[in-house]
Amino acid sequence: MSIDNEILRTIRARRSTRRFTGEQITPEQLDALLEAAIWAPSGGNNQSWLFTAIQSADILAKLNDVVREGFGRYVPDDDYPGKHGMREYAKREDFNFHHHAPTLIIASNKPNYENAMADCALALENIFLAAQSLGLGSCYINQLHWLRDDIGVREFLAELGVPREHTICSSAAIGFAAAESAVPPRKSGTINVVR
Ligand SMILES: Cc1cc2nc3c(=O)[nH]c(=O)nc-3n(C[C@H](O)[C@H](O)[C@H](O)COP(=O)(O)O)c2cc1C
C-alpha cells in the first residue's frame, strides 16, 4: 500500500484552474499564500525574489490590455505552439490572460542570477499547494514571462513596484474555482529508480 498523508493528498489533488468565480480571496488567505512563497528554498539562500500581488479589478483589466498590446508586438523566439496561439487569442475581444482570476501574484527576480527561474518556480508551487490546502484554485500563468522584455508591460509593472531591472519569472492566478478541472493523466515512463 502506498504512503498517504495530507501533503501527498494535496499534491495529487492540485489542478490548474482556468474558471474562477468573481469572489476575491480574503486578506488572510493572500497572506498565507505569500508566506508559503517566501518559505520556498532558494539557491544559496538568495531570497532575491519579489512577489507582487495584484487584487484590484481595475488594475488587472488595465494589465490585460497592456498584455494584449504586448502580444501585438510579440515575435515568438521559438516554435512553442502556445505562444503563437496566444498571439492570436490576444486579438480577440474576450482575451484574458489570467483566466479572470481576481488575484494575480507575479514572481520576479534579480537579473543575471542563474537560479532566478528555479527559485521562483519553487515558490509558485508552494503557492499552488497552499492554495489547494485552503480550498482555492490556482494556475501558472506564463504570459508575463514571455513579455518580460516588452516595453509597455515593463512600464506598467514598474508603476506597480516591479523593479525595471528584475526578470519576470512567472505568475500565479488565484481565486475560487468555478468548475472542477479535468485531471490530465500522468504519462508513463517518466520515473527511473536505480537501487
Ligand atoms: C512552466 C509552466 C507554464 C504554464 N503556463 C500556463 C499558462 O500560461 N496558462 C495556463 O492556463 N496554464 C499554464 N500552465 C499549466 C499547465 O498547462 C498545467 O500544469 C498542465 O496542463 C497540467 O495540468 P495540472 O496543473 O492540472 O496538473 C503552465 C504550467 C507550467 C509548469
Residue 119: inside a domain = yes
In a domain, 90, yes or no: yes
Whether 133 lines ligand 1, by a CB cut-off of 6 Å, is: no
The reply to whether ligand 1 has any atom less than 6 angstroms from the CB of 96 is no
190 part of a folded domain: no
Q: Using the mean position of ligand 1's atoms as its centre, give its distance from the Cα of residue 54 in Å.
A: 20
Question: Measured between alpha carbons, how far is 180 from 157 in angstroms, rounded to an integer?
Answer: 32
Whether 87 is in the pocket of ligand 1, judged by its Cβ within 6 Å, is no
Specify the DSSP class assigned to residue 177. B
Q: Would you say the CB of residue 169 lies under 6 angstroms from ligand 1? A: no
pLDDT tens-place values along the chain, 195 residues long: 689 999 999 999 999 999 999 999 999 999 999 999 999 999 999 999 999 999 999 999 999 999 999 999 998 888 788 899 999 999 999 999 999 999 999 999 999 999 999 999 999 999 999 999 999 999 999 999 999 999 999 999 999 999 999 999 999 999 999 999 999 999 999 999 999
Ligand 1: centre distance to CA 23 (Å) = 22
Cβ 62 under 6 angstroms from ligand 1: no
Sheet strand arrangement including 167-175: 50-54, 103-109, 167-175, 137-141
* Tally of structural domains, the chain: 1
The answer to whether position 132 is within a domain reads yes
On whether residue 187 sits in a domain, the answer given is no
Distance CA 165, CA 161 (A): 11
Q: 55 lies in a domain?
A: yes
Gap between the Cα atoms of 76 and 14, Å rounded: 30
Domain membership of residue 145 as a residue range: 19-175
11 in a structural domain: no
Residue pair 104/60 in contact (Cβ under 8 Å)? The answer is: yes
Residue 9 lies in a domain: no
Count of C-beta atoms within a 10 Å radius of residue 77: 8
Residue 113's CATH number:
3.40.109.10
